[in-house]
Structure 1
């Protein structure tokens, strides 16, 4: 089926009549010719029926006459991928790191070790440096409990595995 064989609806007919009215207002169509073309536009069933009504008129035309042909992808070729090409792995919503391991490391070794494990190196470093004054130890233990209770994320924002 070609593009011109497609059936049109009321919206396309009304758009064509409006555009014909614009052409009449510009003085390109006499009243009698406008009436003939609008009658033909209202009786049109396919895009091919509307196309001759605008053949001798400049733009604006109905949208289907001005839009480019739809994109057609190139045919599939079986060319081998380039050397060294590896397809990207599918995106994962779950981390490869374990929540239990991160939480236990935070509690047992309260120096930010669990944060280093999950890839949050800046937080781990802050906990390590503040552990010498005691605040980092408390912070690490509370952080470990939170990780065990509610989960957490790795450095890429993916949820830790249960």
Structure 2
């Protein structure tokens, strides 16, 4: 004899009966049940043997319900496959040229070449207003471009 074919005929224990009584008490305090009706339902809950004996006690009441009466969650349907990730086309600009321009002409020229004009203008102004000391920034930026590559203004990776 298999008891798992119909969940309604599964026997319940003391913990389930006490949970049902506690929740009926919550419904009484919320004003959904009259005291006599509450007593009848609690008496029935304490004498219950299966889930089917408890279910009618909560049929006309909103949540909360005993956890064992809540239907199990249905599995998600098979989701369609994720769309393929489209890599951006590489830029027509070269990271070697950008890096060398940053090193040889250290005032943002490599960043002008890649299209990052705001960064290039900032590097130019820092270099001018610090009397050439600010050229360290474009110099380091050029070295980083040569080591790591970079992107153009549209976010496309620079080619070799």
Instruction: State TM-score, norm by structure 1.
Output: 0.50
Higher share in strand: 1
The structure with more radius of gyration: 2
TM (norm. structure 2) is 0.50
